[in-house]
Amino acid sequence: MRGAWWRDGLVDMSDPKSALVLHVPGTSQPLMFALSPEQAENVRGELDQFVAFGKTKTIHTADESSVVINFAHVVTAHIDQVPPLATVYGDP
């Protein structure tokens, strides 16, 4: 049951939660946005272009909300697993 934890609030240990991790100037901790497995793959394929060209992009989070990110203000960005006890925006 891939991705069941997004729909039912159940944690499937074989399918860890993914997050878009943004490192921005002036913050000691990165910003993390929860992504569905499908959205994580979509973003992963274009992330280098978002940062390299400073694009503004709408990202759809795991809870089906949207966030607009101006990548011109992002130092580094990557897709990673959500660490335990992390604060993650867009987590259902």
Mean pLDDT of 55-59: 96
How far apart are alpha carbons 4 and 6 in whole angstroms?
A: 5
The answer to whether residue 14 sits within a structural domain is yes
Provide the residue type at 35 as one letter: L
Is 62 within 8 Å of 12 (Cβ atoms)?
no
CA atoms within 13 A on the CB side of 87: 3
pLDDT of residue 6: 42
pLDDT at 3 over 80: no
pLDDT of residue 63: 93
User: Residue 20: which domain range?
Assistant: 4-81
The answer to whether residue 70 sits within a structural domain is yes
Instruction: Report the C-alpha dihedral over residues 30, 33, 34, 36, rounded to 10 degrees.
Output: -130
pLDDT of residue 46: 95
The answer to whether residue 19 sits within a structural domain is yes
pLDDT at 90 over 70: yes
Give me the DSSP letters along 31-73. EEEEE-HHHHHHHHHHHHHHHHTT-EEEEE-TTS-EEEEEGGG
Give the predicted TM-score (pTM) of the model: 0.79
Give the count of domains, the chain. Answer: 1
The answer to whether residue 90 sits within a structural domain is no
For residue 18, the surrounding DSSP H or E stretch is strand 18-23
The answer to whether residue 87 sits within a structural domain is no
Share of the chain above pLDDT 70, in %: 84
